[in-house]
Amino acid sequence: GSGGNFAMGTEREVATEESINTRHGVERVIRDAFERTTLRERKKLTMVHKNNVLVHAGDLWTRTFNEVAKEYPTVTTEYLHADAAAMFMVTNPERFDVVVADNLFGDLLTDIAAAICGGIGLAASGNINPEKKFPSMFEPVHGSAPDIAGKGIADPTATVMSVALMLDHLGLSDAARDVERAVAKDLASRGSAKRSTSEIGDALVAAL
C-alpha cells in the first residue's frame, strides 16, 4: 500500500500505510469468486474482511459483494470478520467452500488453511488473470528449497495440485478432478515410511 514514515528514528516517529481499494479491482475479484463458486457442488461463498474497523474499504467490499450476489441466485453467501474466519478455519474448516478476501486477510487465511491440511508442502496456488487475456501462473506455495535440490526428497504433491488448478483454469475440469482424487487417495493411504519424490510421483500416476 501507499504510506511512509515521518520523523523516523525519533520519539515523534509516525508510520502510515494506506490500503487502496478500487471499485473495479474489488468487483473483479468478487465476480471471479462467484464464477468459481458456481462450478462447485456446495456453491457457498464466504467474504472475509473487517468492515467494523476498516469501515471505508470494508463498506466498498461489502456493497460490491452484495450487489454482485444478486446476479448469482444459486450461490449461498455469508460474511465473516477476519478474526472470526480465522477461528472457524481452525475449529470448523468444513464450514467453508470458497472464500474471497483482500490480499492482507487472504494471505493470513491461506496459510491457516494450508496448516490444517498438512502444511504448505501440500498447498497449491495460482496467480490468475480471470479474463484469460494474459498468462496465469500456477505454483506450489512453498519455495524452491534449493538446499534439497537434486536429492529426490521433496514432496511433489503441491506441484501436482497446482497442475489441477491450471487444468481447471483451462476448462479441463474432469482432468482436474482426476488429479485431485489421485492426490486424495495417496494422502489417505500414506503411512509413516519416508518416500522419495519419484516414489510419490509414481503413486500419484498409479492412482489416476
Q: Is 78 a domain residue?
A: yes
Q: Which of 117, 143, 171 is the last residue of a domain?
A: 117
The rounded distance, in Å, linking the Cα atoms of 58 and 159 is 34
> Which pLDDT value is given to residue 192?
82
pLDDT at 160: 96
Between CA 26 and CA 19 the distance in angstroms is 12
Chosen domain end from 117, 149, 179? 117
* CATH number of the domain residue 35 falls in: 3.40.50.2300
At residue 1, the pLDDT reads: 60
Residues 106 and 188 in one domain: no
Instruction: Judge contact between 51 and 58, C-beta under 8 A.
Output: yes
Shared-domain flag, residues 135 and 113 = no
CA distances (Å), origin 31, targets 35, 36, 47, 99, 108 = 6, 9, 12, 12, 21
Residue 109 sits in the same domain as residue 131: no
Q: Is 57 in the same domain as 79?
A: yes
| Residue 181: alpha-carbon gap to chain centroid | 19
Distance CA 117, CA 110 (A): 11
**Domain membership flag for residue 48:** yes
Domain end marker among 66, 99, 117: 117
* Claim to verify: residue 49 and residue 109 sit in the same structural domain: yes
Q: Which range of residues forms the domain containing residue 25?
A: 19-117
Q: Is 11 among the domain residues?
A: no
Amino acid (1-letter code) at residue 201: G
| One domain, residues 206 and 145 | yes
Q: Are residues 196 and 133 in the same domain?
A: yes
pTM for the model stands at 0.87
Residue 5 lies in a domain: no
* pLDDT tens digits in sequence order for the chain, 208 residues long: 688 999 999 999 999 999 999 999 999 999 999 999 999 999 999 999 999 999 999 999 999 999 999 999 999 999 999 999 999 999 999 999 999 999 999 999 999 999 998 888 899 999 999 888 999 999 999 888 899 989 999 899 999 999 999 999 999 999 999 999 999 999 998 888 889 999 999 999 999 9
> What are the DSSP calls for 66-124, one per residue?
HHHHTT-TTSEEEEEEHHHHHHHHHH-GGG-SEEEE-HHHHHHHHHHHHHHHT-GGG-E
Q: Residue 143: its pLDDT value, please? A: 81
In this structure, are 96 and 28 located in the same domain?
Answer: yes
What is the tally of structural domains in the chain? 2
Q: Look at residue 1 and tell me if it is in a domain.
A: no
Whether 86 and 154 share a structural domain = no
